[in-house]
Amino acid sequence: MIEVKNLSKKFDDLIVLDNVSITVAEARLVVILGPSGTGKTVLLKSILGILPVDSGIVLFDGKSIQTAKENEIYDIRKHVGFVFQSTALFDSMNVCENIALPLVEHTKLSSRQVRDKVHEILEIVGMAGKERLYPGSLSGGMKRLVAVGRALALDPKYLFYDEPTTGLDPVMRDRIVQLIIDLRKDYKKSGIVVTHDLDTAEKVGDDIYLLKKGKISKLEQIKKEVYNG
């Protein structure tokens, strides 16, 4: 479980996060919904301890990332796979090498074990047979699939998705959405999805929050308030 309690963050006089609290329970996906520039990515980075916060606390399975030692933070982050909006793939590496990179850097698996793990991941994300291709020859959607594959390499408990469907055609968007759903349902991957797309949010989210002007509210509650006048 990830518990975010009363998180606040500002840049100069701009309040980006104002007493934000959310909980990511086991095998559930939390969606942070909101237009660009509202601080959704700042929230993700703050949860991971990449950005320092002004106040509040984040607990990963009961352990505070704010008070954790450097080696403990490293261990916490190993349990989180991050899918960047930009994909952050290395253009000089092919698909296989991009996915294998975390395994090479952070495990003692043999070359054969790494290769077998990569092939397993490629099957999961629907990119089997594309091992030798380079990012430059892939569509935007295929790059996102590879990015998800790399996030899965260390078999993380949590997955963070930063705008996973932005800029994709409807077919690929649905493919990414279904993959996110399958990873939660079949592989019990809890996590957070940041998006400005309401359709994506409603399809993948177990709990949907709206982040606006630093404040966070459950979308369900907002709808009730609107309905009740």
In eight-state DSSP terms, residue 137 is: G
Mean pLDDT of 49-72: 93
What does the pLDDT look like over 136-157, one tens digit per residue?
999 999 999 999 999 999 999 9
Q: Under a CB-based contact definition with an 8 Å cutoff, are residues 90 and 96 in contact?
A: no
Report the alpha-carbon distance of residue 152 to residue 129 in Å, rounded: 18
**pLDDT at 229 exceeding the cut of 60:** no
For the residues 4-32, what does the mean pLDDT come to?
Answer: 95
Residue 36 has a pLDDT of 82
Considering the entire predicted model, what is its pTM? Answer: 0.92
Q: What is the DSSP letter of 154?
A: T
pLDDT at 223: 59
Residue 225 confidence (pLDDT) above 60: no
CA-nearest of 97, 101, 121, 106 to 187 is 121
pLDDT at position 219 is: 80
